[in-house]
A and B are shown apart, each in its own frame.
Chain A
Amino acid sequence: GAGVSQSPRYKVAKRGQDVALRCDPISGHVSLFWYQQALGQGPEFLTYFQNEAQLDKSGLPSDRFFAERPEGSVSTLKIQRTQQEDSAVYLCASSQSTKTGGWSYEQYFGPGTRLTVT
Chain B
Amino acid sequence: GESVGLHLPTLSVQEGDNSIINCAYSNSASDYFIWYKQESGKGPQFIIDIRSNMDKRQGQRVTVLLNKTVKHLSLQIAATQPGDSAVYFCAEPPWGSARQLTFGSGTQLTVLP
Contact = CB atoms under 8 A, between A and B. Distances in A.
Same complex = yes
Interface of A: 4, 31, 33, 40-45, 48, 50, 55-56, 59, 91, 93, 95, 103, 105-112
Contact of A103 (B49, B99, B106): B99
Interface in B94-113: 97-106
A59 B100 CA distance: 10
A106 B71 CA distance: 22
Interface of B: 32, 34, 36, 41-46, 49, 89, 91, 93, 97-106
B99 A95 contact: yes
A85 B64 CA distance: 36
Contacts of A43: 44, 89, 101, 103
A91 B32 CA distance: 22
Nearest to A6: B43
Of A103, A105, A109, A111, the most chain B CB neighbours within 10 A belong to: A105
Contacts of A93: 43-44
